Structure 1
């Protein structure tokens, strides 16, 4: 049994009862989840239960009544959801919701009720085999980069020449509800995530033991265990921040889904528990070399606690031999005033910087993942291009090169906006921020040079498409510089932005 932290950023969501007797209340709880700052909302899927709304109809309705929050079944009852039809349903909702769908899948339970609805009972071995076949069918139907229809001649599911598409708006992660070794191995070989319920486990040690099985299967399949996210359904009695932080840091859990239908508990989970857990996890992951002086750290930690917003941490991992700057020479911002009362609008300004950076971080991961899989031989060129087609920053006929170029343009535009607008305002209202702003602007110029290096590598890749070495090195350096820079900028500017705003008169 091995304890481990996979380094994923914590996410928080709700597990709501899809009550048919109070349908509007169910939708309202999903809206409360979004308003409370939570990341996702999920619903159980029991089509044989007449007291429940149909989960996929409900997900679609909730998508139309929300704007930001992610949506997922927790988990889809596969025996009553034919995989080919499920693939189209998930892709359609992802397109309609602007890429907000994540797909939880289960092999089936409550077989007497499933049989009553017309689906045959399967043995445990048959249900796992059926789930593996379903994953293949779903992913192939989503992959419109390949020519020809989908053909899967499985023991449980047969698809003979089904037309591909539609492609979802983004690469929808498939997360499996699993407890037994055979299912856990399937998570490691075929899935993007694992979703158990804490109350169904004999103890936290079972999380570590299950992680061992998943990781061993992933390694055997040539995958990195950290590619697989770890979710956990938790109850009201399980949401002490220190306990959730322990689950993140020692058992690898990154997505915590709270089962409750109480709006006050949902609000507390989003506004109090989630920020506290993020703070604890970030503090534990922050390397000593990245910390400022003890006094400055204590002051900024106090300010962040009052803000309820934490910078996304840089865990110190580096892919390149060296950074183009010395992190130890970075200046720090003046201490925040004690007892300052931040307005909701000020908090929103500060949160916006993290949101922008998180979007760029996400896009950076999407830029790196297809290249790594192509190099490992686990993803074909066509499939990699298909993934790129579904990214937020997309256009018709994307290639790896055009995506890299577009991403670089977005980063440059973001830094130009900061230098010419936000930084000028902060200089005018607080001269003590000048050293930090000078350093950030200097780093922006360095990042511009790193982006130019990616452009040069792309030009050479076009001339020699079989050699990715230079492009990989350029993207590794881009990854290191951006993650280091984003973490430093958030650490020093979240509090001043909440106090002064991004421009004159904003607050």
Structure 2
């Protein structure tokens, strides 16, 4: 049993496909009005049908009022950390905060190299990612930033602007080495979709994050835990991910919060996205909040 005690937050994954832009605009506006916490956008710039993630997020920020935006996750191979921090800080200033930096080392080496990125794998990617987190943290805080290493050649610049509110750095990770980086240097762990990292696999991964945090002198409870959840609420009897009625979704997400330690759930609907958003925001989210509060109150 693991419950790190964070307040629960919920989000919706937006499709960056260019030919679905009108629908994406409507979904962003609806999620904002319905009180969700995040709009999450994946980052696969090498997909010809995808809009650029930062351009899409900036566009959506002008069409929403209060909801925050999460890169889920930004590809550090194609978005060097100093420039990525600059982009995030700029968006935070322009949008009144509302910015969470989810980042990852980059999962598709051939596609990354095809766009001119450096082909990294294994220990080299781990080292690059961990150093990138430190670069971004320094850059987001303002002041001088410099790092000359095997992975970076940042000769020195004065970082800014500095956002009024800190921008969290959440790391998407799955293997033990990258999970260790999360524990040592990340503000949050973003788990891949529940069809890729199943609930049964989560405790072992949480343990790696926690142990790395403790060795680094950090409190594991300070690290947020985010689960990307694909599935369908009601309707279909089968499909990928979590499929079932509101009661099943409520019970499952409540269990994943108090037993697996997740505090944030990003919903990836399989179909009928607007209808799925409506029932998720109106029925599942408040029921999960209530259920988790009740369980915590009994402990």
TM-score by length of 2: 0.91
Structure 1 Cα separation of the partners of residues 278 and 84 of structure 2: 32
Q: Does 1:159 align with 2:170?
A: no
In structure 2, the partner of 1:209 is 204
- CA offset at residue 70 of structure 1? 0.9
Say whether residues 1:266 and 2:277 are aligned partners: yes
Counterpart of 1:200 (choices 190, 196, 200) is 196
Contact 2:140-2:167 at 8 Å conserved across structures: no
CA RMSD of aligned residues (A): 1.3
Runs of 4+ in 1 over 6 A off after TM superposition: none
Structure 1 residue 22: Cα displacement: 2.5
What CA deviation, in whole Å up to 9, does each residue of 1:415-467 have, x standing for no partner?
xxxxxxxxxxxxxxxxxxxxxxxxxxxxxxxxxxxxxxxxxxxxxxxxxxxxx
Whether contact under 8 Å (2:76, 2:129) holds in the other structure is yes
8 A contact 2:170–2:187 mirrored in 1: yes
Unaligned runs of 5+ in 2: 233-241, 243-247
Shift of 1:285: 0.7
2:183–2:220: 8 Å Cα contact kept in structure 1? yes
Query: Could you tell me whether the CA contact under 8 Å between 1:75 and 1:177 is conserved in 2?
Result: yes
Higher relative CO (Cα under 8 Å, sequence separation at least 6) belongs to: 2
Distance 1:137 1:235 in 2: 32
Aligned residue in 2 for 1:343: none
CA contact (8 A) 1:137 1:159 kept: no
What SS class does the counterpart of residue 59 from structure 1 fall into?
Answer: helix
The correspondence of residues 175-186 of structure 1 with structure 2, limited to 5 A, is 175-186=170-181
Q: Deviations over 1:304-350 (max 9, x none)?
A: xxxxxxxxxxx7xxxxxxxxxxxxxxxxxxxxxxxxxxxxxxxxxxx
| Alpha-carbon separation, structure 2, partners of 1:112 and 1:169 | 38
Q: Which structure 2 residues correspond to residues 427-442 of structure 1 after superposition, within 5 A?
A: none
SS in 2 for 1:167: coil
Distance 1:199 1:57 in 2: 28
Q: Deviations over 1:6-63 (max 9, x none)?
A: 0111111011211111222212211111122211100100111110110000010111
Deviations 1:57-78 (A, max 9, x none): 0010111100110101100011
Bigger proportion of residues as strand: 2
Post-superposition Cα deviations, 1:168-197, rounded to whole Å, max 9, x if no partner, equal 231111111111000000000000000112
Counterpart of 2:49 in structure 1 is 51
Give, in angstroms, the shift of residue 275 of structure 1.
Answer: 0.3
Q: Is the 8 A contact 2:169 2:188 kept in 1?
A: yes
What SS does structure 1 have at the residue aligned with 2:99?
coil
- Partner residue, 1:107: 105
Note if 1:275 corresponds to 2:290: no
Match of 2:69 among 64, 68, 71: 71
Q: How does 1:52-451 map to 2 (within 5 A)?
A: 52-144=50-142, 146=143, 149-196=144-191, 197-201=193-197, 203-237=198-232, 238=242, 240-260=249-269, 262-287=273-298
Whether the 8 Å contact between 2:101 and 2:170 is mirrored in structure 1 is yes
Shift of 1:236: 2.0
SS of the counterpart of 2:85? helix
In the alignment, the residues of structure 2 paired with residue 251 and residue 227 of structure 1 have an alpha-carbon distance, to the nearest angstrom, of 16
Partner of 1:487: none
- 3-state DSSP of counterpart to 2:19: coil
Specify every segment of 5 or more residues in structure 1 that has no aligned partner in the other structure, as ranges: 288-314, 316-507
Query: What secondary structure does 1:65 align onto?
Result: coil
- Offset, 1:204: 1.5
Cα distance in structure 1, aligned partners of 2:151 and 2:18: 32
8 Å CA contact retained: 1:43, 1:74: yes
Match of 1:466 in 2: none
Output the CA distance in 2 between the equivalents of 1:224 and 1:77.
27
TM-score (normalised: structure 1):
0.54
Counterpart CA distance in 1 for 2:202 and 2:194 is: 9
SS in 2 for 1:209: helix
Rounded to whole Å, the distance in 1 between the matches of 2:149 and 2:285 is 43
**Distance (Å, rounded) in 1 between the aligned partners of 2:150 and 2:250:** 45
Instruction: Give the drift of 1:232.
Output: 0.2
